[in-house]
Amino acid sequence: MEVEDLTLDELRLALAPGIAEAAVFDGWSNEALDMAADQLGADRDVARLAFKDDGAMGMICAWIETIDRQMAIDLPAEKLAEMKIRERIRSLIQYRLDAVADLEESLRRALAIMAMPQNAARALRTGWSSADVMWRLAGDTATDYNHYTKRAILASIYGATLAIFVDDESEGKAETRAFLGRRIDGVMKFEKAKAKWLNPERESFSMSRFLGRLRYPAR
């Protein structure tokens, strides 16, 4: 499909990766948007119309949505089904980290914008949406309160890991990988032991208490 045939919503997603690349130098700005439009071969005025009244936050959310969509293509549920639950979650988060590799400055600026009071509600919805995509790919079918706690917990894990990732200068982001592994493995061991203590006849893993333990994780 030609660029001029895209709807405004489709154009937003098509522009988002280019905006993220330009945001390393120009921030999440109209300058970055113009650069992405030129790279895509789109009319600058139409590109700006696609993000009219949505500004930087709209550009960031579009970028996140492109990652969500590509993740679902590259890590379909049937592929993840071959892994244990901890590896599914680890693989999904690691995929997202790999997707923003070399764009740490864009990510740092995006996180700062999302943390602004006026953007907090939308940032929360965006994080929830990404967590929902990850859990569905991981095979979650919960419809009770676990549906909500799992997503809140996963968003917390991912957010904490991003905070480490943006400043990680170790080779191959080794510190980030180790941090993620500790958060997942440590809490799972705790949950397994607790489940055994509470119900020794049925040893199972629950994600429902991750949030409290991961809200302020130690580095």
> Domain limits of the chain?
77-214
Model pLDDT, residue 183: 85
- In whole angstroms, what is the distance from residue 90 CA to residue 82 CA? 14
- In whole angstroms, what is the distance from residue 174 CA to residue 193 CA? 28
Model pLDDT, residue 34: 98
Angle subtended at Cα 185 by Cα 219 and Cα 128, rounded to the nearest 5 degrees: 75
Q: How confident is the model at residue 193 (pLDDT cuts 50, 70, 90)?
A: low
**Residue 117 burial by Cβ neighbours in a 10 Å radius (0-12, 13-18, 19+):** exposed
Say if CB 15 and CB 49 are below 8 A apart: no
Integer distance in angstroms from the first to the last C-alpha of the chain? 46
- In whole angstroms, what is the distance from residue 109 CA to residue 20 CA? 10
- In whole angstroms, what is the distance from residue 99 CA to residue 95 CA? 6
Q: How confident is the model at residue 195 (pLDDT cuts 50, 70, 90)?
A: low
Q: How confident is the model at residue 66 (pLDDT cuts 50, 70, 90)?
A: very high
| pLDDT (mean) for 197-204 | 57
Dump pLDDT digits (tens) for 167-183: 999 999 999 999 999 88
Q: How confident is the model at residue 144 (pLDDT cuts 50, 70, 90)?
A: confident
- In whole angstroms, what is the distance from residue 111 CA to residue 66 CA? 17
- In whole angstroms, what is the distance from residue 79 CA to residue 83 CA? 8
| pLDDT (mean) for 67-84 | 96
Model pLDDT, residue 141: 86
Residues near 216 by beta carbon (within 8 Å), at least 6 away in sequence: none
* The model's pTM: 0.85
Residue 198 has pLDDT above 80, yes or no: no
Q: How confident is the model at residue 197 (pLDDT cuts 50, 70, 90)?
A: low
3-state secondary structure of 20: helix
| pLDDT (mean) for 57-77 | 98
- In whole angstroms, what is the distance from residue 219 CA to residue 209 CA? 19
